[in-house]
Amino acid sequence: MLTAIYTAVGELVGQGADKISFPVIAERAGVNPTTLYRRWPDVNALLEDVAIAALTRDGESVPDTGSLEQDLTDWANIIAGDITRPERARYLRAMVAARVDLVTNCAVTDARHEQAAQMTRRASERGEQTPTVQQILDHIVAPLYYNVIFALPLDDDHPRRLVRDVLAMTR
């Protein structure tokens, strides 16, 4: 049932639907609207759950090439390729639009944090100089998401440039 609901929301968001209400979602998913009212306080909360599920379900594997520069470049390219897909970009915008108060944790950020920590841990073990996880989030992840969320074009070389910049900080 959850899958039907998430799919319905995904389709509605994907079609750029203007009015996404519990009744509209329920009809599309073939469930009773009361199911939705019981489970989520409002549409935004449901929208956010769907967005997080969509943005983190991939189980992306973290690159392990033996060089931090290559790992980060591959990783930045995976992220860029993923979030620039029109459907994902729309999800992302719907997700942030649904946020009103400060969040203490964010599934998207948490996943990126964990992946960055894996890569820097391996690099440290190989004796490489590494930026901090926070620097990777600030200087690779943030600019990629910023461009996509603002609907600004992201050129093919952008991920590699960001990696080069963050590594230059540690020298």
Q: Encoding tokens for residue 24?
A: 């509209």
Contact 20, 13 (CB under 8 A): yes
For every residue of 117-169, DSSP letters joined together read HHHHHHHHHTT-----HHHHIIIIIHHHHHHHHTT----TTHHHHHHHHHHHT
> Is residue 139 part of the contact set for a second copy (CB under 8 A)?
yes
Minimum gap (Å) between residue 64 Cβ and a second copy: 26
> Is residue 145 part of the contact set for a second copy (CB under 8 A)?
yes
Q: Residues 35, 113, 149, 160: which binds a second copy (CB under 8 A)? A: 149
> Is residue 160 part of the contact set for a second copy (CB under 8 A)?
no
Closest to 31 (Cα-Cα) out of 7, 14, 50: 7
> Is residue 41 part of the contact set for a second copy (CB under 8 A)?
no
Binders of a second copy among residues 68 to 97 (CB under 8 A) are 90, 93-94, 96-97
> Is residue 103 part of the contact set for a second copy (CB under 8 A)?
yes
Question: Cα 27 vs. chain centroid, distance in angstroms?
Answer: 28
Query: Which residues of the shown chain bind a second copy in the complex (CB under 8 A)?
Result: 16, 90, 93-94, 96-97, 99-104, 106, 108-109, 135, 137-139, 141-143, 145-147, 149-153, 161-162, 165, 168-169
